[in-house]
Amino acid sequence: MSIRFTKTVPVMRTLMLGGLAVAATTLVALAPPSRAEEAAEAKPAAEKPAKAKKPAAAPAQNPAAPGEPGLLPFTPAEVTASPPGAIDITSDETMEWHNDQLAAVARGHVIVTRGEDTLHCDTLVVYYRKANDGSTEMYRMAADGQVVMTSPSQQAFGDHGVYDVDQDVTVLTGDHLHLVTRSDTVYARDTLEYWKQQQLLVARGNAIAINDKGDRIRADVLVGIMEENAAKQLEMTRMDAKGNVLIVTPKDVARGTEGTYNVKTRIAILTGDVKLTQGQNQVNGHRAEVNNATGVSRMLPDETVKGGRVHSVLIPKKSDQPAAPAPAAPPAGGAKTPGGGAQP
Hey, is 78 helix, strand or coil?
helix
Query: What is the rounded distance in angstroms from the CA atom of residue 217 to the CA atom of residue 249?
Result: 9
**Which of 161, 132, 136 shows the shortest CA–CA distance to 146?**
161
Hey, is 21 helix, strand or coil?
strand
pLDDT averaged over consecutive 10-residue blocks of the chain (344 residues)? 33 37 34 46 50 49 45 45 75 90 93 92 94 87 95 92 94 94 92 93 95 91 90 86 91 91 93 87 87 85 60 58 59 52 42
Q: So what's the pLDDT on residue 298?
A: 86
Q: So what's the pLDDT on residue 317?
A: 65
Q: So what's the pLDDT on residue 316?
A: 65
Q: So what's the pLDDT on residue 281?
A: 84
Is residue 83 within 8 A of residue 18, CB to CB? The reply is: yes
- Reported CATH class of domain 85-151: mainly beta
| pTM of full prediction above 0.75 | no
**Which of 173, 161, 261 shows the shortest CA–CA distance to 209?**
261
Looking at residue 327, the DSSP 8-state letter turns out to be P
Query: What is the rounded distance in angstroms from the CA atom of residue 37 to the CA atom of residue 33?
Result: 6
Q: Cα-flanking dihedrals φ and ψ of residue 23, to 5°?
A: -95, 130
Query: What is the rounded distance in angstroms from the CA atom of residue 177 to the CA atom of residue 188?
Result: 6
Architecture of the domain defined by 166-313: Sandwich (2.60)
Looking at residue 336, the DSSP 8-state letter turns out to be B
Name residues whose C-beta falls within 8 Å of residue 280's C-beta, 6 or more positions apart in sequence: 315
For the chain, domain boundaries: 85-151, 166-313
Query: What is the rounded distance in angstroms from the CA atom of residue 69 to the CA atom of residue 35?
Result: 26
Q: So what's the pLDDT on residue 63?
A: 45
Q: So what's the pLDDT on residue 282?
A: 85
Q: So what's the pLDDT on residue 152?
A: 86
Same-fold call for 85-151 versus 166-313 = yes
C-alpha gyration radius of the chain: 37
Q: So what's the pLDDT on residue 296?
A: 85
